[in-house]
Amino acid sequence: MDRAKKILEMAHGYRDYTAENLSAMVKIPSFSGREEEVCKKIMELCSRAGFDEVRIDGLGSVIARIGQGPGKLAFDAHVDTVEPGDLEQWDLDPFSGLIRGGKVHGRGTVDQEGGAAAMITAGRILKELDYLGGCTLYFTFTVMEEDCDGLCWKYLIEEEKLVPDLFVSTEPSSCRLYRGHRGRMEMLCAFKGLSAHGSAPERGENAAYKAARAALAMEKLNEELKPDSDNFLGKGTVVVSRLEAHGPSQCAVPDQAMIYLDRRLTWGETAEKAIAQVKEYMGNDVASVTMPRYEKRGYRGADYGQELYFPTWKIPADHELVKAGEQAYLLLYKKKPVVDKWTFSTNAVAVCGAHKIPTIGFGPGDENKTHAPNEAVSIDDLEVCSAFYAMLPYVLDQGGEE
């Protein structure tokens, strides 16, 4: 029996196993900075699956290893989730982990513990096939991504010195092969006014009006941003995500205001360029435009942070890793995968965006289910991804052929 056929059979045989592991994770709420219990469960599942080594890093991410080849290939899933939001919009308990109708239901099934469950199954398959190829395989179950994408891998690369040669993100891609996405940054825009009594606003200078004009200027900037030269990643965007104004009282002209911006960066756009654009469009109304820092203590007590800037990344369509991904999928499913990119941002901003490590994405579930009520992932997708992750190392060992 050829290897691809064997892997397909094993992934199908472990279909219920994968769904049950995902269900067990979903039942454990794991918001950013509070992932300890789900990480303990993942360590248990990886140990039972037979991984060669399972450990936890200083920030709290689980690192599971198979093999000891000279190359380093990492598969990554973040295991923190956003909160459920308005419970009235959910048909089921967000943490039920219910398996029904060919799907696993609950918060995190798509974004993105589904990828984690498929990784565990792939590791089990590889161990049962006695994988001893040219790659050391790292399966990372990372923390704090929802708060600060890439921070966990900044820590792994810069503090733990785990530097893979190749990287696979298992964020939801509808089982398509992704080779890039836009970067992003956050900006804080401050406005100053002069307070006066609300009965005589002409005596003051209203910071709220400055912020309002600036917000409309951002609407114009968003319309005028241009796509990248090959139109693969598309245009950048800017969104006013928060606007506040305040003064001495409710009966006074506001003397301070703030706008918070979410800026998505296409290829060739930098933090410096984005800040300069905002200052240009806001003009004299804005007092300052700054890039905030993220600072948070992880569940293991580590304090770690970074500026809220996440570089754009993409790799060429003919890169060896893209070609290996296409070949792995072709061997399994007798057709080529769709090659595309994400709309949102992932841990690859640190791995490929900042550290230039070649990266692809392939994950279960659809982007439009992320951060939404009634989140659910198809078990079919979990099976496909389990097989793909198990197949890819063999293709890479053969230089893109198997």
Catalytic, out of 80, 113, 171, 255:
80
Q: Report how far residue 115's alpha carbon sits from residue 132's, in angstroms, rounded to the nearest whole number.
A: 23
Please count the residues of the chain: 402
Q: What 3-state class would DSSP assign to 56?
A: strand
Catalytic, out of 57, 145, 149, 326:
145
Q: Which residues pair with 342 in a beta bridge?
A: 181
- Which residue shows structure tokens 């923390």? 143
Q: Report how far residue 171's alpha carbon sits from residue 343's, in angstroms, rounded to the nearest whole number.
A: 11
**E-strand stretches of 247-368:** 256-265, 288-290, 293-297, 303-307, 309-310, 313-314, 339-342, 359-361
Respond yes or no: is residue 219 known to be catalytic: no
Q: Where are the alpha helices (DSSP H) in 293-343?
A: 320-333
The answer to whether the beta carbons of residues 150 and 353 sit under 8 Å apart is yes
- How far, CA to CA in Å, does 111 sit from each of 82, 291, 375? 9, 26, 9
DSSP string, 72-130: EEEEEEE--B-----GGG-SS-TT---EETTEEESTTIIIIIHHHHHHHHHHHHHHHTT
- Token pair recorded at residue 334: 């007798």
Bridging pattern class, strands 177-181 and 313-314: antiparallel
Respond yes or no: is residue 145 known to be catalytic: yes
The set of catalytic residues is 80, 145
